[in-house]
Amino acid sequence: MAGFWNWQSPNEGGPGFIPRSLDAAELSLWIRSRRQKLPQTRLGRTLLGLALVFGGVFSFLPVLGIWMLPLGLFILSIDWAFVRRRRRQAEVSLTRWWKSRQAAGV
């Protein structure tokens, strides 16, 4: 689970590094081994995130998929504190669940 989506800041380090101050000009998203630059403006990131969430709602259609929903929420979490808090809570709970499964040997 960890490592699927990673932030990358050219000034600080490679994939997996989450900078304290997100500089919009340097924001990019690593999906697997591909790097995708995000829009530099807050409006652009918000529209992209909302479009992905909206497309994820219609995941029953052939081209659109459920993968769009978490990606859209992830992009929205850059600028929206409410979404960012929920994402962090989900990351913590999923990490704890995953580690407990590994410790149990499942």
CA distances from 67 to 5, 60, 89, 90 (A): 12, 12, 20, 16
Q: What pLDDT shows up at residue 98? A: 93
Between helix 68-76 and helix 42-57 the angle, nearest 10°, is 150
- Amino acid 80: pLDDT: 87
- State the average pLDDT over residues 78-83: 88
Look at residue 96 in the predicted model and tell me its pLDDT. 95
The backbone torsions φ and ψ at residue 73, rounded to the nearest 5 degrees and listed phi first, read -65, -35
pTM listed for this prediction: 0.61
Judged against a pLDDT cut of 70, whether residue 5 lies above it is answered with no
Domain boundaries, the chain: 5-104
| Overall average pLDDT of the 63-87 stretch | 87
